[in-house]
């Protein structure tokens, strides 16, 4: 009986070790301001690895707070208009996502501010989450979510003229 239990535990641990995982390898944020008067925001970079999947997962959105940031993917070495580069590995795929937020402060000297209209229409995340962000992705025709717990690095702010 003890041998059977040990054998079952060993097999279960082996299956758990080859299970599917999503993990943030690296993440950073850098605040910026400048350009047009009253403009500011944050630039984000995420390196996310998916391992143990038999089919390739496809991320579609990262939520920071209540703001959705669409993901547009290009394979490494391919030049396209994309904010995400995909690196394929033997047993994993890594997505390097570059995205950001921007704000435009109200200024009485400007009659119309189209950026504020865009942010006023921001939707809410599809699920409640804790942490700093939420990754939405598809795998095998189903929709999944991964909570990004924290930003690993804060870079010094940038001021543009």
Q: What is the pTM of this model?
A: 0.75
Q: What is the mean pLDDT of each run of 10 residues along the chain (161 residues)?
A: 42 49 96 81 96 94 92 79 90 94 66 46 80 94 95 91 77
CB 146 within 8 A of CB 137: yes
Domain boundaries, the chain: 22-159
Q: Which fold has domain 22-159?
A: Immunoglobulin-like (2.60.40)
Q: How far is Cα 161 from Cα 39, in angstroms, rounded to an integer?
A: 11
Q: What is the pLDDT of residue 56?
A: 92
Close Cβ partners of 29 (under 8 Å, ≥ 6 residues apart): 42, 43, 44, 151, 153, 154, 155
């Amino acid at each position: 009986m003890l041998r059977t239990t040990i054998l079952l535990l060993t097999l279960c641990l082996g299956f758990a070790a080859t299970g599917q995982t999503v993990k943030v390898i690296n993440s950073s944020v850098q605040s910026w301001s400048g350009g047009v008067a009253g403009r500011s925001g944050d630039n984000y970079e995420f390196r996310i690895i998916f391992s143990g999947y038999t089919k390739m997962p496809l991320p579609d959105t990262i939520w920071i707070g209540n703001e959705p940031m669409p993901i547009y993917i290009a394979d490494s070495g391919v030049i396209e208009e994309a904010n995400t580069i995909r690196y394929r590995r033997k047993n994993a795929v890594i997505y390097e996502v570059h995205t950001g937020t921007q704000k435009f402060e109200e200024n009485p000297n400007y009659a119309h501010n189209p950026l504020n209209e865009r942010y006023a229409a921001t939707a809410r995340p599809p699920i409640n989450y804790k942490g700093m962000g939420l990754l939405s992705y598809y795998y095998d025709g189903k929709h999944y979510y991964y909570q990004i717990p924290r930003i690993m690095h804060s870079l010094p702010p940038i001021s543009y003229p």
